[in-house]
């Protein structure tokens, strides 16, 4: 339609708009969709902000965009009509804005003609529709610090899995939501508390905290549900495995046999081949202790690597200083050689200047003595000659003195350099001594932890208690054993991880008999039970009015578990961080507009004093929590910062970018350490593995990739079927999980072998 036709339409349309127009009801919706995306406080193109009538009247580079009472002459209307070489929105714009239709332009013009009045913005409740069954991508995953439990969000549901048994164990739901959902909208973020007793989930304008509770325990008797293996099979196992079998049981499907052996071990065998599948030893307490020792070994390895790199850096610096020191000493020697000569040359030159001055004075006296004060030409010439010689003599003296001064200054500068370099080397020497001391201390701690770990593993092979009764659970996922010291212990059959135990009294054991259902019952004089079922219940809903403008893209517990940080904001406008007290649910810190665009990721420093945030504004920031002041601002990504993670020692921060790169930042000097590349699409998440320098990442290029903070690739789980949105690792790297658009949660071992794939229940 041509402009003059539109003008005619405007004239005819105004009759239908007799009543006063309301800005937020009638005008704002189409301006927001097609104009404000490029003209707001964050993206203020042409210096024009169109978010309010007042700002449009204020205008930008070309003056006011609207003239109250005169719609026809307002630049906004003319641009919408594409008059005078103005075409707004521009074609092929990145915001997807389209031209206003004639009816919208008519409404805009009439509103301006009526005075361009503002109005009260009415907050409208967002009505969320039921999700389609096909909309169930995994946007977030979380793993407990001990690596035992894993949670993932699919659509608006949350699922929890046991990594020990590699089984689905619970779907977390809010009774107030429909269809067993956890939230009304998509689950955008998840995080377990450090002790694993709480899980936080973020969604649209709300955060929920779920608390771990255990199901009811059985009492009075312990059931070991399995029939014993046949005598022939036990004989074959004993011969093949070279073990003395004390007790045995068959799995319900008859495919496996579990035996309690004379050496204190519990072993699972393949019934068809009599080959050992897995050996089960240890206790929950021993496993926790060994995990702590593993963590300590890794942490001390990191400490040694840091101090070794510091020593290497200082040694390189000292080499450079030695070169400078040599040059300074050479300069002193060279200048001290020429200085006496230069000093020796000064007296004769000074004497020559004195003589020249005397000659000038004598001629001047002659001239003064001439009657009438008028010298003849001969005296004038003689005076001129004497003065020229004096000037030359003075210049020679100045030059000679300057040469002496320069030589002395060069000697002094070189001596100052020697002192400065010597002082620097002395400081470096002390630093190296301190680094070597710290490195030795770390090595001592590492060696002790390694020795303790070796001793703990050896102790497992020397168990004195005998497994007098054994059994599979009905699904063969767990193996239980009763020992002759009264201890009842349960392991995950898939991983060999001790998961439960109950300490009893050997004297309390009476008999082990077959129950009517075919299970074994260990009858005891005291109550002893295992087999509780973990579940998570809603502890608190956090949806403070006005604090969550949109989706909560990040949740993170502090290292002490007392506070919960949340990140979000309004897309393209603001990036907000709010920190809540976990016990009360009250906000303790509110940082509005910490970023210019929505916050996508958060991480606490290991000491809990700082928090790192990454946002869609391409920036990562580190903020001091006590003061709210910015400590570091890291720029380098050319697209959204989608992940941030502190290394265990707090000396390095890693950031993941939608530009297909991971950046590592030195937190000591506040500079970039390394840019790690090799991804072809967005790096969607990252996490340091335990106390190591290894980083597990997920990306849109269908890979879960592990790299070091120096850029070396450790391994990659490649050729995955769909866009990977999130990944996490067990502290010791023994299990890696990843989820993405295809809704499948995948589990790999530390070597990259796929262990399990979980779909939606």
Cβ atoms of 689 and 703 within 8 Å: the answer is no
Place of tokens 């030795």: 440
For residues 99 and 131, give the distance between their C-alpha atoms in angstroms, rounded to a whole number.
32
For residues 443 and 248, give the distance between their C-alpha atoms in angstroms, rounded to a whole number.
45
Cα R_g (the chain), whole angstroms: 40
- Within-domain flag for 88: yes
* CA neighbours closer than 13 Å in the CB half-sphere of residue 156: 22
- The string of DSSP codes covering 231-291 is HHHHHHHHHHHT--EEEEEE-TTSSEEEEEETTS-EEEEETTT--EEEEE---HHHHHHHH
Q: Same domain for 278 and 356?
A: no
Q: Same domain for 314 and 445?
A: yes
* CA neighbours closer than 13 Å in the CB half-sphere of residue 704: 27
Q: Which residues contact 670 (CB under 8 A, 6 or more apart)?
A: 632
Q: Same domain for 456 and 467?
A: no
- Within-domain flag for 679: no
Phi first, then psi: give them for residue 439, nearest 5 degrees. Answer: -65, -40
Q: Same domain for 507 and 396?
A: no
CATH of the domain at 231: 2.130.10.10
Q: Same domain for 385 and 475?
A: no
How many domains does the chain contain in total? Answer: 3
For residues 702 and 505, give the distance between their C-alpha atoms in angstroms, rounded to a whole number.
53
Q: What 8-state DSSP symbol labels residue 137?
A: -
Which segments in the chain show pLDDT lower than 70?
1-18, 42, 94-95, 122-135, 215-226, 373, 375, 505-533, 761
- Within-domain flag for 323: yes
Cβ atoms of 471 and 249 within 8 Å: the answer is yes
Tokens of 30: 């189409």
Q: Same domain for 338 and 318?
A: yes
**Cis amide leading into 443 (omega within 30):** no
Q: Same domain for 307 and 250?
A: no
Structural domain boundaries, residue 338: 286-460
For residues 24 and 107, give the distance between their C-alpha atoms in angstroms, rounded to a whole number.
12
What are 12-64's pLDDT values in tens digits?
444 444 578 988 888 988 888 888 878 877 677 888 888 888 998 998 888 89
- SS3 call for 40: coil
Q: Which of 426, 445, 460 is the last residue of a domain?
A: 460
What CA–CA distances, in Å, run from 289 to 229, 465, 611, 690?
34, 20, 29, 15
- Within-domain flag for 150: no
Widest CA span in the chain: 154
Q: Same domain for 306 and 437?
A: yes
CATH of the domain at 392: 1.10.287.950
- Within-domain flag for 162: no
Q: Same domain for 478 and 450?
A: no
Q: Which of 444, 460, 476 is the last residue of a domain?
A: 460
Q: Same domain for 420 and 505?
A: no
pLDDT at 528: 44
- Within-domain flag for 370: yes
Q: What size, in residues, is the chain?
A: 761
pLDDT at 506: 60
Q: Count other Cβ atoms within 10 Å, centred on residue 694.
A: 19
Q: What 8-state DSSP symbol labels residue 546?
A: T
Q: Same domain for 338 and 431?
A: yes
Tokens of 698: 């997920």
Q: Same domain for 21 and 88?
A: yes
Burial group, residue 83, by CB count within 10 angstroms (0-12, 13-18, 19+): middle
Q: Which of 482, 500, 524 is the last residue of a domain?
A: 524
Going by their DSSP bridges, the two strands 563-568 and 630-635 should be labelled as unpaired
- Within-domain flag for 205: no
Q: What 8-state DSSP symbol labels residue 23?
A: I
pLDDT at 144: 96
- SS3 call for 474: coil
- Within-domain flag for 181: no
pLDDT at 559: 98
């Amino acid at each position: 339609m041509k402009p003059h036709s539109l003008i005619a339409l405007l004239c005819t349309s105004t009759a239908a708009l007799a009543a006063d127009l309301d800005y937020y009801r009638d005008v704002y919706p189409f301006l927001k969709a097609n104009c404000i995306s490029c003209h707001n406080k964050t993206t203020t193109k042409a210096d024009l902000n169109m978010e309010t009538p007042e700002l449009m009247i204020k205008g930008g580079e070309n003056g006011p965009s609207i003239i109250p009472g005169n719609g026809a002459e307002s630049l906004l209307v003319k641009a919408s009509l594409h008059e005078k070489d103005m075409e707004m929105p521009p074609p092929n714009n990145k915001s997807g804005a389209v031209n206003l239709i004639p009816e919208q332009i008519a409404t805009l013009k009439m509103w301006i003609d009526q005075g361009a009045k503002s109005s009260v913005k009415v907050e409208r409740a967002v009505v969320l529709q039921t999700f389609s069954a096909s909309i169930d991508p995994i946007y977030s995953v979380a793993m407990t610090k001990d690596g035992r439990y894993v949670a993932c969000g699919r659509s608006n549901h949350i699922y929890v899995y046991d990594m020990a048994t590699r089984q689905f164990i619970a779907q977390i739901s809010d009774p107030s939501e429909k269809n067993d959902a956890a939230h009304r909208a998509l689950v955008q973020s998840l995080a377990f508390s450090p002790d694993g007793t709480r899980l936080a989930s973020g969604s649209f304008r709300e955060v929920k905290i779920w608390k771990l509770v255990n199901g009811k325990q059985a009492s009075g008797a312990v059931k070991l549900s399995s029939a014993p293996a046949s005598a022939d099979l036990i004989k074959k196992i004993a011969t093949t495995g070279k073990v003395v079998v004390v007790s045995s049981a068959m799995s319900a499907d008859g495919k496996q046999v579990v035996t309690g052996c004379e050496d204190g071990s519990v072993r699972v065998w393949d019934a068809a081949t009599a080959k050992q599948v897995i050996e089960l030893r240890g206790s929950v307490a021993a496993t926790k202790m060994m995990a702590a020792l593993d963590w300590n070994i890794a942490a001390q390895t990191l400490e040694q690597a840091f101090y070794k790199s510091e020593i290497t850096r200082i040694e390189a610096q000292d080499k450079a200083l030695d070169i400078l020191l040599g040059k300074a000493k050479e300069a002193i020697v060279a200048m001290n050689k020429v200085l006496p000569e230069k000093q020796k040359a000064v007296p004769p030159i000074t004497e020559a200047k004195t003589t020249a001055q005397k000659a000038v004075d004598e001629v001047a006296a002659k001239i003064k003595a001439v009657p009438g004060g008028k010298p003849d030409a001969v005296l004038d010439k003689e005076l001129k000659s004497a003065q020229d010689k004096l000037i030359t003599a003075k210049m020679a003296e100045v030059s000679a003195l300057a040469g002496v001064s320069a030589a002395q200054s060069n000697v002094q500068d070189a001596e100052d350099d020697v002192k400065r370099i010597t002082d620097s080397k002395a400081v470096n020497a002390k630093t190296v001594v301190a680094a070597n001391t710290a490195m030795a201390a770390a090595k001592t701690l590492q060696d002790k932890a390694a020795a303790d770990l070796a001793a703990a593993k050896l102790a497992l092979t020397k168990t004195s208690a005998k497994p007098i009764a054994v059994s599979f659970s009905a699904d063969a996922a767990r193996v239980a054993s009763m020992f002759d010291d009264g201890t009842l212990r349960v392991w995950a059959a898939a991983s060999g991880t001790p998961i439960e135990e109950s300490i009893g009294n050997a004297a309390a054991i009476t008999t082990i008999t077959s129950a009517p259902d075919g299970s074994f019952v260990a009858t005891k004089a005291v109550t002893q039970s295992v087999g509780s079922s973990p579940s998570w219940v809603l502890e608190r809903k956090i949806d403070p009015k006005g604090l969550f403008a949109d989706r909560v893209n990040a949740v993170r517990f502090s290292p002490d578990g007392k506070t919960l940080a949340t990140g979000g904001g309004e897309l393209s406008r603001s990036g907000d961080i709010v920190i809540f007290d976990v016990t009360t649910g009250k906000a303790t810190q509110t940082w509005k507009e910490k970023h210019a665009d929505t916050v996508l990721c958060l991480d606490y420093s290991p000491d809990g004093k700082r928090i790192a945030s990454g946002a869609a504004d391409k920036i990562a920031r580190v903020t001091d929590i006590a003061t709210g002041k910015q400590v570091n601002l890291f720029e380098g990504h050319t697209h959204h910062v989608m992940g941030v993670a502190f290394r265990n020692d707090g000396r390095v921060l890693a950031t993941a970018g939608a530009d297909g790169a991971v950046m590592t930042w030195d937190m000591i000097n506040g500079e970039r350490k390394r840019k790690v590349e090799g991804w072809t699409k967005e790096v969607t998440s990252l996490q340091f593995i335990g106390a190591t320098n290894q980083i597990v990442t997920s990306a849109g290029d269908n890979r879960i990739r592990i790299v070091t903070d120096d850029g070396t690739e450790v391994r990659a789980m490649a050729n995955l079927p769909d866009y990977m949105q999130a990944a996490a690792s067990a502290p010791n790297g023994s299990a890696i999980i990843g989820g993405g658009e295809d809704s499948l949660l995948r589990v790999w071992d530390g070597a990259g072998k796929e262990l399990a794939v979980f779909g939606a229940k």
